[in-house]
């Protein structure tokens, strides 16, 4: 059996985080009753004209900066023509000949993946089918709320060689876009979408094989699985001496297979030509500097700061910076006055544990966590109570002081109260006391446990230990 | 006769309370009622709305709250310019019942100035044509000879002004659609600089060439109106932030010291000799008024017409793609989507529109783009450079014929698209270069008007008006020849 090298290029569509659409003032907010976020412009009524949203241009430039691209000071829009009911003008306004960003790169483990281009374009609407899917529907109705929401399309060079690399690139790209503040990058909501171009070639061959394009990949896992499936499918064809058909395929996540959508012969001729209703987008030095300065802190700078200014270990830093949501949260918590190292411990420990299975939303406020950390640090509650408070905050919300009060977590640090409890336990347990005195230091643990039990777990463990040692050594 | 007054005279009459806007409006509505069954200039007459607007205007004037000098002046608008709440068809079955929920900026400005809308004027469907015979509804007749076309595509706008069924009107000009009908109907016609007047709300034919234009009875009127409708519009990215002067105060500055060019390419083959001679006689008038007349050359003129028809149809193929039956306008129901698209577009568009969509689609197709569309971009650059070189050499205006002939007969060219396209030979270059051009009636041949075309540098409309004033004669009054039963 011949051995093949896999060649992959990815195309990402990311929805830009603007308030209004690309060419009109309609809101971009997700959801809403069908056809309520629309106006004559995004519905493509006769005679209306597009007016470019400057903020979308700024976000596209930020994406370019985040992906190390050359920002084009002059870019232009083109029309991409095709008929479909979700496309109001029957052409999509996009950048074909002169995109806004070119020639970038993203580093993944031990490798650089080149970015060919980033261009700005408008999204289409969506069809709501009367049945489960378009195939079993008697009719479909267009919803234009998404029509003309600004997107960037990011196109990589065919530098990727495996499903794992593709997944790593996708994850890295998502994180970079999130840090740049460009997009919400939620794959499940469709604000980040990925298409895979994949071909195989016999090892050692320099020219590319015939590729298939895979669409409808809604998660990182789907990207990985679809590539693995496609590698096997194409290898099987080539093994038999066949030819891979150049076509567009769709990923069926349930069945774990790709299916043919349309072949090259049926491919659209989009008849691109310059959009005459818009003037070229010119970014002068002043605007460029403004955009550059408004770019949020990117991962490398962030890592440097967390290690040098916050004193975190490289390991902890990498783990925090890996997930932008946690990194933003970390900053908010320390800004609220919490100790950086303790914050890192909480975030990487209990919070990460509690987030498992629901990674995209933190249900607690940074200021609340800062309060909780302070409560534990000051000894007002002990660490195990702190964990319980955090769990409560995750499950039901509420502020930590409230929870500590209602659940009675406040730690007993009153020396006389503790002393009394210690003496009682010593009195009631002569045997372990004798054991301890005879050198069986293990008995200490038992006695400590008894005291914690007697105080409902609220005793300050540090103080109890000291008092117990004193009482026993006396 | 109120309807014979120019806009300037009308404004004066309203200001001096010689008549009210309602009296004026009624006079126009009565004239439309009496004449338009023969001329067919109006697709929609908005009589009720007009009387209401006129009455409101009169009230404002009495209270001393006139919105502008134009308050109460009636106007007719080409049916490709969106008028909020008033059906706007583009003379197409596709939009036969389309009522826009917004107004074009140019109409908005006039409405805010107090103008009274008489109605919407006939045209070639989607502005594609040079005779108004491509209207999906009916053909407009030339008021000078009802057996002749009024020109196109803004034929209704030209005929209405010529026949005193509107004191002025708005049209659009993509390749001569204001100027050629102005020449055929003996009115003043202006195609402003590209970007001078907002295109927002104007149903596009070819976006990079379209510009709103004016039909008027005098150059003074044209200048007055231009000041009202011009200016940068935030809704149109291609409108240009060049200051709008009061064009009417500069009219009589004369042409002394101005250099007027006669481009030799516009006086050769294909242009009726009588017309060439008539235009050259106008040059003489300008010379007598103190202008220097020089022969110039615009060497790439010959490439302009074919390039224009590729560029315009390419843009049109995309601009007209939205009429698919999904959201508004005509829908021909079918069992599946592709059939619905096909049936709707087959039945909704007329023959010429389909022809141009196909031409444009072809020109943009993979494998042909370089040979066709891309070449037209190069031609456009060269055509523009020809003009730039002239103006850089000190030429203030160019003087040319507007059309190769006077108004031709109905049906004469309607089955010969190429012959029809040739009637734009003197006008398309101006759109390709984005320049302003003014048509001034300069006489008649065989009872049909002839207009001279003055072409200027970008935003040099003022020089066109000054030159035009030197050529301006007593207005030609149409005789309605061949009017049946009269």
Strand duo A4-15 + A150-156: pairing: antiparallel
Question: How many degrees, rounded to 5, is the angle at CA A217 between CA A211 and CA A218?
Answer: 170
Once rounded to an integer, what is the mean pLDDT over residues A333-354?
A: 89
* Helices assigned H by DSSP within A253-336: 285-294, 299-308, 314-322, 324-335
**Residue A278 near chain B (CB below 8 Å):** yes
CB contact under 8 A, A91 and B321: yes
Tell me which range, A311-315, A325-329, B295-299, is most confidently predicted by mean pLDDT: B295-299
Strand duo B42-45 + B116-121: pairing: antiparallel
**pLDDT for residue A265:** 63
Query: Per-residue pLDDT tens for A153-212?
Result: 999 999 999 999 999 999 999 999 999 999 999 888 888 999 999 999 999 999 999 999
Query: Per-residue pLDDT tens for A172-187?
Result: 999 999 999 999 998 8
* Residue B141 covered by a domain: yes
Three-state DSSP state, B287:
helix
The parent domain of residue B215 ranges over 2-256+430-471
CB contact under 8 A, A48 and B238: no
Q: Which residues of A touch B324 (CB under 8 A)?
A: 83, 85, 90
* Residue B162 covered by a domain: yes
Once rounded to an integer, what is the mean pLDDT over residues A128-143?
A: 85
- Contacts A–B by Cβ distance under 8 A: 97
CA B114 vs CA A71, A314, B69, B244, B404: distances in Å: 48, 72, 9, 20, 39
| Contact yes or no for B317/B361 (Cβ under 8 A) | yes
Domains of chain A: 4-282 (no CATH), 297-407 (no CATH), 415-473 (1.10.10.410)
Q: Determine the Cα–Cα distance for residues B171 and B121; give it in Å rounded to an integer.
A: 9
A126 has pLDDT over 80 = yes
- Choice between A241 and B195, residue whose per-residue pLDDT is larger: B195
Please state the φ and ψ torsions of residue B214, each to the nearest 5 degrees: -125, 135
Band (A264; pLDDT cuts 50, 70, 90): low
**Residue B86 near chain A (CB below 8 Å):** no
**Residue B373 near chain A (CB below 8 Å):** yes
Q: Determine the Cα–Cα distance for residues A21 and A125; give it in Å rounded to an integer.
A: 12
Q: Is A19 exposed, middle or buried (0-12, 13-18, 19+ CB in 10 A)?
A: exposed
What's the CATH code of the domain at B8?
3.90.1300.10
**Which tokens sit at B337?**
């989507």
Strand duo A140-143 + A126-129: pairing: antiparallel
Once rounded to an integer, what is the mean pLDDT over residues A338-343?
A: 88
> What is the maximum span of chain B, computed from C-alpha positions, in angstroms?
71
* Residue B288 covered by a domain: no
How many CB atoms within 10 Å of residue A47? 21
Q: Which residues of B touch A47 (CB under 8 A)?
A: 80-82, 100, 104, 199-204
A286 has pLDDT over 70 = yes
Q: Which of B88, B95, B321 sits opposite A81 (nearest CB)?
A: B321
Band (B311; pLDDT cuts 50, 70, 90): very high
Q: Quick one: how far is CA B392 from the chain centroid? A: 28
Residue B105: CB partners within 8 Å, gap ≥ 6? Answer: B197, B198, B200, B201, B233, B235, B236
Please state the φ and ψ torsions of residue B199, each to the nearest 5 degrees: -95, 0
**Residue-wise burial string across A37-46, b where 16 or more C-beta atoms lie within 10 A, e elsewhere:** bbbbbbbbbb
Q: Which residues of B touch A142 (CB under 8 A)?
A: 326-327
Q: Which residues of B touch A277 (CB under 8 A)?
A: 204, 207, 237-238
| Contact yes or no for B97/B107 (Cβ under 8 A) | no
**Residue B366 near chain A (CB below 8 Å):** yes
**pLDDT for residue A213:** 95
Nearest CA in chain B to A89: B322
Please report, in angstroms and rounded to a whole number, the separation of the first and last CA atoms in chain A. 81
* DSSP conformational letter for B230: B
Query: Per-residue pLDDT tens for B403-441?
Result: 999 999 999 988 888 888 888 899 999 999 999 999 999
Once rounded to an integer, what is the mean pLDDT over residues A320-331?
A: 90
* Residue B386 covered by a domain: no
CB contact under 8 A, B324 and A83: yes
- The catalytic site residues of B sit at 78, 153, 177
| Contact yes or no for A447/A468 (Cβ under 8 A) | yes
**Residue B362 near chain A (CB below 8 Å):** no
Q: Determine the Cα–Cα distance for residues A119 and A96; give it in Å rounded to an integer.
A: 8
DSSP notation for A182-239 = -----TTTTSEEEEEEEEEEETT--S----EEEEEE-SHHHHHHHHHHHHHHHHHHHH
Q: Determine the Cα–Cα distance for residues B394 and B455; give it in Å rounded to an integer.
A: 14
**Residue B480 near chain A (CB below 8 Å):** no
Strand order across the beta sheet in which B74-78 lies:
B42-45, B116-121, B74-78, B168-173, B211-216, B188-191, B437-445, B448-456, B397-401, B259-263, B292-296
Residue A7: CB partners within 8 Å, gap ≥ 6? Answer: A158, A160, A161, A198, A199, A200, A201, A208, A209, A211
**Residue A139 near chain B (CB below 8 Å):** no
B486 has pLDDT over 50 = no
**pLDDT for residue A2:** 62
Find, among A249, A255, A264, A400, the residue nearest to A338 by Cα: A400
Nearest CA in chain B to A91: B318
Ranges A209-213, A385-389, B170-174: which has the least confidence: A385-389
* Residue B398 covered by a domain: no
User: Which residue reads 């103190």 in tokens?
Assistant: B290
Where are the extended beta strands (E) located within B333-405?
397-401
- Choice between A444 and A415, residue whose per-residue pLDDT is larger: A444
* Residue B309 covered by a domain: no
**Residue A49 near chain B (CB below 8 Å):** yes
In which region does residue B190 sit, left (phi positive, over 0), alpha (psi from -120 to 50) or beta (all else)?
A: beta
**Residue A259 near chain B (CB below 8 Å):** no
CA A343 vs CA A109, A311, A369, A381, A386: distances in Å: 28, 12, 8, 16, 13
Q: Which residues of A touch B194 (CB under 8 A)?
A: none
Query: Per-residue pLDDT tens for B112-132?
Result: 999 999 999 999 999 999 999
Band (A386; pLDDT cuts 50, 70, 90): confident
Once rounded to an integer, what is the mean pLDDT over residues B48-59?
A: 98
Q: Which of B237, B366, B373 sits opposite A269 (nearest CB)?
A: B366
* Residue B362 covered by a domain: no
Distance from CA of A272 to the nearest CA of B (A): 7
pTM of the model: 0.90
Find, among B226, B200, B201, B224, the residue nearest to B213 by Cα: B226
CB contact under 8 A, B324 and A43: no
Find, among B377, B396, B405, the residue nearest to B465 by Cα: B396
**Residue B318 near chain A (CB below 8 Å):** yes
Q: Determine the Cα–Cα distance for residues B217 and B164; give it in Å rounded to an integer.
A: 9
Whole-number mean pLDDT of chain A?
90
Q: Determine the Cα–Cα distance for residues A260 and A263; give it in Å rounded to an integer.
A: 8
User: Which residue reads 């100035």 in tokens?
Assistant: B113
Q: How large a percentage of chain B has pLDDT more than 70?
A: 99
**pLDDT for residue A375:** 82
Q: How many domains does chain B have?
A: 1
**Which tokens sit at A213?**
């394009």
- Whether the link from the prior residue into B153 is cis, omega within 30° of 0, is yes
Whole-number mean pLDDT of chain B?
96
Band (B379; pLDDT cuts 50, 70, 90): very high
Band (B485; pLDDT cuts 50, 70, 90): very low
CB contact under 8 A, A271 and B318: yes
Band (A331; pLDDT cuts 50, 70, 90): very high
**Which tokens sit at B369?**
């783009």
Query: Per-residue pLDDT tens for A22-81?
Result: 999 999 998 889 999 999 999 999 999 999 999 999 999 999 999 999 999 999 999 999
Strand duo B211-216 + B116-121: pairing: unpaired
Query: Per-residue pLDDT tens for A427-470?
Result: 888 888 888 888 888 888 888 888 888 877 777 778 888 888 88
* Residue B282 covered by a domain: no
Band (B76; pLDDT cuts 50, 70, 90): very high
Band (A377; pLDDT cuts 50, 70, 90): confident
A296 has pLDDT over 50 = yes
**pLDDT for residue B27:** 98
Q: Which residues of B touch A83 (CB under 8 A)?
A: 321, 324, 341
**pLDDT for residue A53:** 98
Q: Which residues of B touch A88 (CB under 8 A)?
A: 322, 327
CB contact under 8 A, A276 and B207: yes
């Amino acid at each position: 059996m011949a051995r093949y090298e896999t060649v992959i290029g990815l195309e990402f569509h990311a929805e830009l985080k603007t308030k209004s659409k690309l060419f009109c003032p309609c809101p971009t907010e997700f959801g809403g009753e069908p056809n309520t976020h629309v106006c004559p412009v995004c519905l493509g009524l006769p005679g209306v004209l597009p007016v470019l949203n400057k903020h979308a241009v700024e976000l596209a430039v930020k994406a370019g900066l985040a992906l190390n691209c050359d920002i084009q000071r002059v870019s232009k829009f083109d029309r991409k023509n095709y008929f479909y009911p979700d496309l109001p003008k029957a052409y999509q306004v996009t950048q074909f000949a002169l995109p806004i960003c070119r020639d970038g790169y993203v580093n993944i483990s031990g490798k650089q993946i080149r970015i060919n281009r980033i261009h700005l374009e408008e999204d289409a609407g969506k069809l709501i089918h009367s049945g489960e899917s378009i195939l079993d529907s008697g009719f479909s109705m267009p919803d234009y709320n998404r029509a003309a929401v600004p997107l960037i399309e990011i196109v990589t060079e065919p530098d990727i060689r495996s499903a794992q690399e593709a997944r790593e690139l996708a994850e890295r790209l998502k994180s970079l876009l999130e840090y740049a503040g460009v997009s919400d990058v939620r794959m499940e909501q469709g604000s980040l979408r990925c298409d895979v171009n994949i071909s195989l070639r016999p090892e050692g061959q320099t020219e590319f094989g015939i590729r298939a394009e895979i669409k409808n990949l809604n998660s990182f896992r789907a990207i990985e699985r679809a590539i693995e499936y496609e590698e096997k499918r194409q290898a099987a064809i080539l093994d038999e001496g066949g030819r891979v058909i150049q076509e567009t395929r769709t990923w069926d996540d349930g069945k774990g297979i790709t299916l043919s959508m349309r072949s090259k012969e049926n491919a659209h001729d989009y008849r691109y030509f310059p959009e005459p209703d818009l003037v070229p987008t010119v970014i002068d030095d002043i605007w460029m500097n403004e955009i550059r300065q408004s770019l949020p802190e990117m991962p490398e700078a962030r890592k440097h700061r967390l290690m040098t200014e916050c004193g975190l270990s490289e390991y902890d830093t990498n783990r925090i910076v890996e997930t932008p949501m946690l990194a933003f949260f970390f900053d908010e918590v320390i800004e609220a006055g919490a100790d950086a190292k303790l914050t890192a411990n909480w975030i990487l420990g209990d919070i990460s544990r509690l987030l498992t299975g629901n990674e995209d939303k933190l249900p607690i406020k940074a200021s609340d966590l800062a309060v909780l950390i302070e409560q534990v640090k000051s000894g007002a509650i002990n660490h195990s109570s702190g964990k319980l408070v955090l769990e409560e905050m995750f499950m039901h919300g509420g502020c930590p002081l409230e929870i500590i009060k209602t659940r009675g977590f406040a730690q007993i640090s009153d020396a006389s109260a503790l002393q009394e409890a210690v003496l009682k336990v010593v009195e009631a347990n002569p045997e372990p006391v004798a054991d301890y005195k005879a050198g069986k230091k293990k008995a200490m643990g038992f006695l400590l446990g008894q005291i914690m039990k007697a105080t409902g777990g609220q005793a300050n463990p540090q103080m109890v230990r000291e008092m117990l040692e004193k009482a026993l050594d006396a | 006769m109120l309807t014979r007054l120019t806009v300037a005279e009308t404004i004066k009459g309203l200001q001096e309370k010689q008549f009210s806007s309602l009296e004026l409006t009624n006079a126009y509505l009565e004239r439309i009622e009496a004449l338009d069954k023969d001329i067919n200039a109006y697709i929609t007459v908005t009589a009720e709305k007009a009387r209401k607007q006129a009455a409101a205007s009169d009230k404002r004037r009495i209270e001393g709250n006139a919105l502008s000098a134009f308050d109460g002046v009636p106007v007719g608008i080409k049916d490709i310019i969106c008028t909020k709440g008033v059906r706007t068809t583009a003379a197409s079955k596709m939009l036969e019942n389309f009522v826009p929920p917004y107004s074009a900026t140019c109409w908005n400005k006039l409405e805010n100035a107090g103008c009274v809308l008489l109605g919407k004027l006939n045209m070639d469907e989607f502005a594609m044509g040079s005779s108004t015979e491509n209207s999906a509804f009916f053909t407009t007749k030339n008021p000078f000879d009802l057996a002749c076309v009024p020109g196109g595509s803004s034929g209704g706008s030209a005929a209405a002004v010529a026949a005193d069924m509107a004191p002025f009107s708005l049209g659009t000009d993509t390749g001569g659609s204001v100027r050629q009908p102005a020449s055929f109907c003996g009115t003043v016609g202006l195609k402003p600089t590209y970007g001078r007047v907002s295109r927002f709300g104007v149903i596009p034919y070819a976006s990079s060439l379209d510009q709103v234009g004016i039909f008027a009875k005098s150059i003074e009127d044209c200048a007055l109106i231009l000041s009202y409708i011009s200016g940068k519009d935030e809704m149109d990215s291609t409108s240009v932030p060049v200051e709008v002067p009061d064009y009417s105060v500069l009219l009589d500055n004369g042409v002394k010291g101005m250099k007027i060019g006669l481009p030799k390419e516009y006086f050769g083959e294909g242009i009726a000799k009588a017309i060439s001679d008539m235009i050259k006689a106008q040059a003489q008038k300008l010379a007598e008024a103190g202008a220097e007349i020089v022969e110039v050359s615009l060497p790439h003129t010959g490439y302009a017409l074919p390039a224009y028809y590729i560029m315009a149809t390419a843009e049109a193929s995309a601009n007209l793609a939205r009429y698919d039956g999904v959201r508004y306008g005509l829908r021909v129901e079918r069992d599946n989507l592709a059939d619905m698209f096909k049936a709707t577009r087959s039945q909704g568009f007329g023959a010429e529109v389909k022809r141009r969509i196909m031409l444009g689609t072809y020109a943009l197709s993979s494998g042909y783009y370089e040979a066709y569309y891309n070449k037209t971009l190069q031609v456009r650059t060269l055509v523009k450079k020809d003009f730039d070189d002239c103006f850089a050499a000190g030429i203030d205006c160019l003087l040319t014929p507007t059309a190769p002939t006077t108004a031709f007969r109905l049906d004469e060219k309607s089955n010969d698209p190429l012959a029809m396209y040739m009637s734009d030979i003197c006008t398309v270059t101006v759109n390709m270069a984005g320049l302003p051009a003014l048509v001034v009636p300069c006489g008649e041949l065989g009872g049909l008007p002839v207009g001279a075309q003055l072409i200027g540098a970008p935003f040099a409309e003022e020089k066109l008006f000054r030159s035009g004033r030197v050529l301006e004669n007593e207005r030609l009054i149409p005789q309605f020849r061949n009017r049946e039963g009269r």
